[in-house]
Structure 1
Amino acid sequence: MLKVGAAALNQTPLDWKGNRKRITEAIENARQNGVQVLCLPELAITGYGCEDAFYSPDVLKRSLDTLQMLVAETSGLVTCLGLPLRIQNKTYNTVAVVANRQILGFVCKQHLPNYGVFYEDRWFHRWKAGQSAIVQVDGTAYPAGDLLFDISGIKVGVEICEDAWVADRPGPRLFARGADIILNPSASPFTFSKFQTRAQLVTDASRAFACAYVYTNLLGNESGRLIFDGDAMISSGGELLASSDRFSYADHTLTTALADIEKNRIEQSKIKSSFADDTLTVVSSFRPETSFEPQVTGNILENFEKGGHLKEEEFARAVSLGLFDYLRKSRSYGFTVSLSGGADSSACTALCALMIRLADESIGLEAFRQKLSYIPGINGCRTIADISRLLITTLYQGTRNSSEDTLNSARALAEDCGAEFLRVDIDALVNAYTDLIGEKIGRPLSWETDDIPLQNIQARVRAPGVWLLANLSNHLLLTTSNRSEAAVGYCTMDGDTAGSIAPVSGIDKAWLREWLIWLEKTGCEVKGRHIRMEGLQYVNALQPTAELRPKEKTQTDEKDLMPYPVLNRIEQLGIRDKKSPLECFRLLEESETGYRREDLYHWVRRFFTLWSRNQWKRERYAPGFHLDSYNLDPRSWCRFPILSGSFEEELEELEAYFAGL
């Protein structure tokens, strides 16, 4: 029996001292728990999201310097330390396999993700399977490449993240050479329900390769856009032995289990392999001596998966953790929200409040305060209510077009969250601008002739005041726009798009409204009880509206655009699935039978027209979190030209089809 461990780390790109400290703490925790073989995440030394800093020679040098410091901390165990490494004038994504303060060699990543949010081919080269080389580090020669390590009789192999997700993976070659343990250091961003796929991958690999398979991931909001859930798992012989609690607010988590190496070897001998591979280099070193009792942890979302609210719970926990890390890593003092009483700003405010409650559940208020000890006044806060009022400020900015309903909605939610609630009237500011410009152009502005400009000026006038409020407290101003609005540009640049971070920009409006109802009626389970936000009852009773036109015009978002579920479906078909306008319309005819054919036609035309016209807005959005299998952020998933042909020919084909020509 061998005790193995997987440590998830909350790292920060280029934070040399901090990253080294967290790795050292994880290694020491593993040692104290008797772990003999420890898996740490991909690129743990530098951080995964260094972007073009990976080109810097200084970054490569500091990575190796840090590696040497960490090697001295590895007494009595085997571990893997991820870093970029220059080999024969090319940079590779590697892990150094280290045993008892000795570097054994460097495994190089063979398969680089270059799709969706991934861009690894920009910085790294792909190592060829079956090949090895020699690399000099501080005058010492080490093997590098496609390696298997024989550590005094225990054979340890490595698949680095993407290597395990492709058909031509290293696993079969490692199995053919008798790997007892396969480590998978990963940096796998959160998306909904992805942990289930990972669990299947890990258990299937341990069964297929008759080995102990140890998988670990990064944790938290590492570099701004990507959230890592800290998923860590250990499986042996097809049995999942241990899995981590996800979305922890700690610097690291440790998951351990006992792996029956001899049992796996018996199973290996029974399997007739066609994977014989004599090109894999085997590196030998020492044998770990001791064995210990297992420590199996559970999965924090198991009950929610059974209860049918997994996505709602994951969204709450992922974004709350993302906000917490963004707050502390940017050294900001809290959050300011322009709380209109509508769904988007209400969701942002509720998530800030959940952040505090989920942090208390995860690490306790004392550790939470310690992590935010740089914030003036935080140490004097003794309760969740104290912290909420210090960290969350909301501002309701009404005009004559605002309703009592949205005012009541904003106030009720702020009170429920324990946030500071401020209210101002901005009519005088709006009038000052419209009168000033009307005077200069020689005519008064009116709703009959100037509808869009009069709507936009109200949204833009709100931005300077809420920015001022945020700056006064060194707060992050939260952008409240959602993904549906981004798709069609239903937002005012330098108005409701103002902010430092956009927590809900990766979520469509239709589902966000469902989530708010869930949070009011069901809520997160925290410390054995459900945290519901009953203050959401007011916003959940309202139809989404910008409240920018006069009240008698009864403005609603869906009247301006189209039903949000239809908008979301067109976005999926046209943007995610790359269907033409005509193909989208045909598919909608089949699936959206509750709407008139004429309406579907006009909505498809409207979507593609607005999509192509508003790419410049998506280019200017505040950073948002990647939460789904795709998003609309041109800097992380969906690139589209700012200037284009606006689907002119494609929409002509749609028109001809609709007209029966």
Structure 2
Amino acid sequence: MKLIKIAAGVLNTIPLAWEHNRRIIIDAIEDARRQQVSLLCLPELCITGYGCEDMFYSHELTEQAKQSLLEIVPHTGDIVVAVSLPLRLANNRTYDTACLIANKRILGFACKQYLANNGIHYETRWFQPWLPGLRDEIQIGEFSYPVGDLLFDVSGVRIGFEICEDAWIANRPGRSLAERGVDIILNPSASHFSFFKSQVRERFVIDGSRSFGVSYVYCNLVGNESGRAIFDGDAFIASNGQLLVSSNRFTYADYGLVTAVIDVDDTRLSQVQNKVNLMGLQAALRVPANFTWPDVKPVQQRAELEYWERGEHLKEEEFARAVALALFDYLRKSRSQGFVLSLSGGADSSSIASLVYLMIKLAEESIGLDGFKRKLSYIDAIQDKKTAEEICGALLTTIYQGTENSSTDTYESAESLASSLGATFYNININGLVETYRKLIEEQLGRELSWDTDDLALQNIQARVRAPSAWMLTNVKGALLLSTSNRSEAAVGYATMDGDTAGSISPIAGIDKHYLRGWLRWVETVGVGGHIKLPGLAKVNSLQPTAELRPPDRKQTDEEDLMPYDVLNAIEKFGIRDKQSPKEVFQRVEVAFEGQYSREKLYTSVDRFFRLWSLNQWKRERYAPAFHLDDESLDPKTWCRFPILSGGFEKELAELKVYYEGKDGFGRKGKIGF
């Protein structure tokens, strides 16, 4: 048996933070050496950070990356390490590369062949894809190193690379590497989080190890690196179709390692049985290197999922853990002193308050409260706190801002939740401010404003007047203001610009209201990990969502203003994510909601959605940065682009009306199958 102890490392990097990234890379290497690891793979572009955006064009960035690489190399004694960085070659093109280092010697640079270019990833803007089978050289310092489609022969053990997107395409480079007799495939990745994506990654890691007859090492970034994307810290090691080990995702630590012992002879036997051509090694693309692989004892290995990953509520768990970790990183990487939240007592603001508290509780489980305070060592106010609730009181300031239209129910909901979390709670009445603005405009117009003629203006001024107080608290405390708008509101513009949309970050703008309400009930009764429950949400969960901007006798509710949230969510999914016409969307919701809502209700909802969607793109353009959670994101800067000015689906909605009224002969349900 040829046994090798290998490791996959996850890192919480920061774009352009040279010292931070170099330190955690070296810390991970030294930890791996202490654990007697012989081969360590670290994530994609970990030297620079993945989210450098247009700074990848900078010549200075690539030079700094090479300098950092040279400072890392001396820390690789008696270990083989893969680190990643952008390289600019003599053709003045930049490539996304993985550098293999063995015992303080750079062996060469493998280049990414397939670039991610779907919304949140924009790699073709900065990098050039490498063509299979090609090789070049680059000089760094006094030495030249091979670059390209490389297979590294390290003392008889053949190591190749698939870099992130390379493994997601049908004709993946692993096939070519298998034909050349590869033993170990390393996959350094920067793969953004979305719901259930970890299961897909696990599948291609296991399938790759089986199909290619290799040991496969996958590692990913962790945390909120640059603002919008969240990385979950997935790491897997598989061999011959068996998953040997997987990481605990969403760690709050700077880095994490998972290790396994692999048998190279066993995978080679599998290759022979699978009739892989071991004689087809392309010498021109092989990089030999001398390295003494230390003897390792075999161990029993079986990958196990965390408790919460085995349950029925994976999406609820992932949402809580991903957004909580993203809030933590956004807080510390922006060097802010805490959060301010306009807490209305409704579902949106209550979910955000809950996520801030969960941020502290999940960090406590991951790195302990002492570790949490060390990572926020610049915040003096939390250093003497002993419990999560005390820390929440120092980090989260909430403010309830009522008017004559606010109810006792929402006040009690906000106050009881803040109290249960330990958050600081302020209560002010802004009715006088609203009346001041109203009278100023009435004097200029020479008439009184009324709910019959000026409904929208009278609603919006209440929401908008709340923003200055929240911003003032934010400035006083050196904090981040949390915007409370959700994705359903963004889709139809049911939000007040410079009111509830005001903020530094918009934590729930990537999630729909229908899901959010269910998640709040789950957190109250089931709890994150099955044990972190928030009973303070009971009052929130008993209320019907309402903006409380009209007089109480008008009995305002969100769903009466708009449409049922489950219908809104379905229309958004079919119409925006799937790009179907209003007529096709209507056909789908007729089937999906048969017996729940009238045909007229569904028709008016579809018609209203598309009209509001077109009118409100300018609002979506102005939303605070939001976290990316799935392929239903409406963020125009990373995922869902739509013109600010458009035809507004006029022709399509006219066709929908004809269909609905039955004038085309197909207007009765059941005539068209899909």
TM-score, structure 2 as length reference: 0.96
Contact 1:255 1:297 in 2 (8 A): no
| Secondary structure in structure 2 of the residue aligned to 1:394 | strand
Q: 1:207 aligns with which of 202, 210, 234?
A: 210
Contact 2:243 2:303 in 1 (8 A): no
Deviation readout 1:147-181 (Å, 9 max, x if unpaired): 00000101000100000111121101111111111
**Pairing 1:167-316 to 2, within 5 Å after superposition:** 167-273=170-276, 278=282, 281-292=285-296, 302-316=306-320
Q: Shift in Å at residue 599 of structure 1?
A: 1.2
Q: Shift in Å at residue 570 of structure 1?
A: 0.4
| In 2: Cα distance, 1:374 partner to 1:292 partner | 43
Residue equivalent to 1:607 = 609
| In 2: Cα distance, 1:196 partner to 1:316 partner | 18
Percent identity, please. 57
Deviation readout 1:409-438 (Å, 9 max, x if unpaired): 001110111101110000000000000111
Kindly tell me: are residues 364 and 341 of structure 1, through their superposed partners in 2, closer, same or farther at Cα, counting changes over 3 Å? Answer: same
Contact 1:86 1:92 in 2 (8 A): yes
| In 1: Cα distance, 2:166 partner to 2:133 partner | 13
Q: Shift in Å at residue 383 of structure 1?
A: 2.0
Q: Which amino acid aligns with 1:446?
A: S
Contact 2:577 2:631 in 1 (8 A): no
Contact 1:398 1:426 in 2 (8 A): yes
| In 2: Cα distance, 1:65 partner to 1:296 partner | 38
**Pairing 1:392-431 to 2, within 5 Å after superposition:** 392-431=396-435
* 1:549 maps onto 2:550 in alignment: yes
| Secondary structure in structure 2 of the residue aligned to 1:287 | coil
Deviation readout 1:226-254 (Å, 9 max, x if unpaired): 11110101011111111111100000000
Residue equivalent to 1:634 = 636
Kindly tell me: are residues 316 and 619 of structure 1, through their superposed partners in 2, closer, same or farther at Cα, counting changes over 3 Å? Answer: same
Q: Shift in Å at residue 279 of structure 1?
A: 7.9
Q: Shift in Å at residue 106 of structure 1?
A: 0.6
| Secondary structure in structure 2 of the residue aligned to 1:72 | helix
* 1:161 maps onto 2:164 in alignment: yes
Contact 1:72 1:101 in 2 (8 A): yes
**Pairing 1:19-30 to 2, within 5 Å after superposition:** 19-30=21-32
| In 2: Cα distance, 1:547 partner to 1:383 partner | 35
| Secondary structure in structure 2 of the residue aligned to 1:380 | coil
Residue equivalent to 1:575 = 576
Residue equivalent to 1:338 = 342
Contact 1:342 1:406 in 2 (8 A): yes
| In 2: Cα distance, 1:587 partner to 1:315 partner | 27
Residue equivalent to 1:592 = 593
* 1:488 maps onto 2:492 in alignment: yes
Q: Which amino acid aligns with 1:79?
A: V
- Cα RMSD of the aligned pairs, angstroms, is 1.4
Residue equivalent to 1:437 = 441
| In 1: Cα distance, 2:315 partner to 2:283 partner | 45
Residue equivalent to 1:86 = 88
169-178 vs 12-21, which deviates more? 169-178
Contact 1:173 1:280 in 2 (8 A): no
Q: Shift in Å at residue 277 of structure 1?
A: 6.8
| In 1: Cα distance, 2:458 partner to 2:485 partner | 20
Residue equivalent to 1:646 = 648
Contact 2:546 2:557 in 1 (8 A): yes
* 1:531 maps onto 2:535 in alignment: no
| In 2: Cα distance, 1:396 partner to 1:566 partner | 30
Q: Shift in Å at residue 587 of structure 1?
A: 1.4
| In 2: Cα distance, 1:555 partner to 1:280 partner | 73
Number of aligned pairs?
657
Deviation readout 1:190-210 (Å, 9 max, x if unpaired): 111111111111111111111
Q: Shift in Å at residue 382 of structure 1?
A: 2.0
Kindly tell me: are residues 652 and 445 of structure 1, through their superposed partners in 2, closer, same or farther at Cα, counting changes over 3 Å? Answer: same
| Secondary structure in structure 2 of the residue aligned to 1:377 | helix
| In 2: Cα distance, 1:274 partner to 1:74 partner | 33
Residue equivalent to 1:321 = 325
Contact 1:130 1:279 in 2 (8 A): no
Q: Shift in Å at residue 280 of structure 1?
A: 6.5
| In 1: Cα distance, 2:632 partner to 2:232 partner | 17
Deviation readout 1:561-601 (Å, 9 max, x if unpaired): 00001000000001000001111111112222121111111
Residue equivalent to 2:459 = 455
Q: Shift in Å at residue 91 of structure 1?
A: 0.6
Q: Which amino acid aligns with 2:656?
A: L
Residue equivalent to 1:374 = 378
Q: Which amino acid aligns with 1:428?
A: G
TM-score, structure 1 as length reference: 0.98
Contact 1:10 1:222 in 2 (8 A): yes
Residue equivalent to 2:59 = 57
| In 1: Cα distance, 2:302 partner to 2:375 partner | 24
Contact 1:146 1:280 in 2 (8 A): no
Q: Which amino acid aligns with 1:227?
A: I
| In 1: Cα distance, 2:365 partner to 2:145 partner | 45
Contact 1:131 1:279 in 2 (8 A): no
Residue equivalent to 2:671 = none
* 1:113 maps onto 2:116 in alignment: yes
Residue equivalent to 1:74 = 76
Residue equivalent to 2:13 = 11
| In 1: Cα distance, 2:631 partner to 2:545 partner | 26
| Secondary structure in structure 1 of the residue aligned to 2:365 | helix
171-180 vs 1-10, which deviates more? 171-180
* 1:559 maps onto 2:557 in alignment: no
Q: Shift in Å at residue 256 of structure 1?
A: 0.2
Q: Which amino acid aligns with 1:622?
A: A
| Secondary structure in structure 1 of the residue aligned to 2:531 | strand
Q: Shift in Å at residue 307 of structure 1?
A: 2.5
Kindly tell me: are residues 422 and 579 of structure 1, through their superposed partners in 2, closer, same or farther at Cα, counting changes over 3 Å? Answer: same
| In 2: Cα distance, 1:169 partner to 1:477 partner | 44
| In 2: Cα distance, 1:162 partner to 1:309 partner | 28
Contact 2:357 2:388 in 1 (8 A): no
| In 2: Cα distance, 1:652 partner to 1:193 partner | 38
Deviation readout 1:324-351 (Å, 9 max, x if unpaired): 0000000001111100000000000000
| Secondary structure in structure 1 of the residue aligned to 2:295 | coil
Kindly tell me: are residues 77 and 199 of structure 1, through their superposed partners in 2, closer, same or farther at Cα, counting changes over 3 Å? Answer: same
Structure 2: gaps (5+ residues): 664-674
Q: Shift in Å at residue 274 of structure 1?
A: 6.9
| In 1: Cα distance, 2:315 partner to 2:523 partner | 12
| In 2: Cα distance, 1:101 partner to 1:29 partner | 16
| In 2: Cα distance, 1:51 partner to 1:116 partner | 13
| Secondary structure in structure 2 of the residue aligned to 1:225 | coil
Q: Shift in Å at residue 296 of structure 1?
A: 6.2
Residue equivalent to 2:670 = none
| In 1: Cα distance, 2:372 partner to 2:276 partner | 51
| Secondary structure in structure 2 of the residue aligned to 1:111 | coil
| Secondary structure in structure 1 of the residue aligned to 2:380 | coil
Q: Which amino acid aligns with 1:241?
A: L
Q: Which amino acid aligns with 1:128?
A: L
Q: Shift in Å at residue 444 of structure 1?
A: 1.1
Residue equivalent to 2:50 = 48
Q: Shift in Å at residue 17 of structure 1?
A: 0.5
| In 1: Cα distance, 2:658 partner to 2:570 partner | 22
| In 2: Cα distance, 1:370 partner to 1:296 partner | 34
| In 2: Cα distance, 1:595 partner to 1:554 partner | 21
Q: 1:520 aligns with which of 511, 518, 524?
A: 524
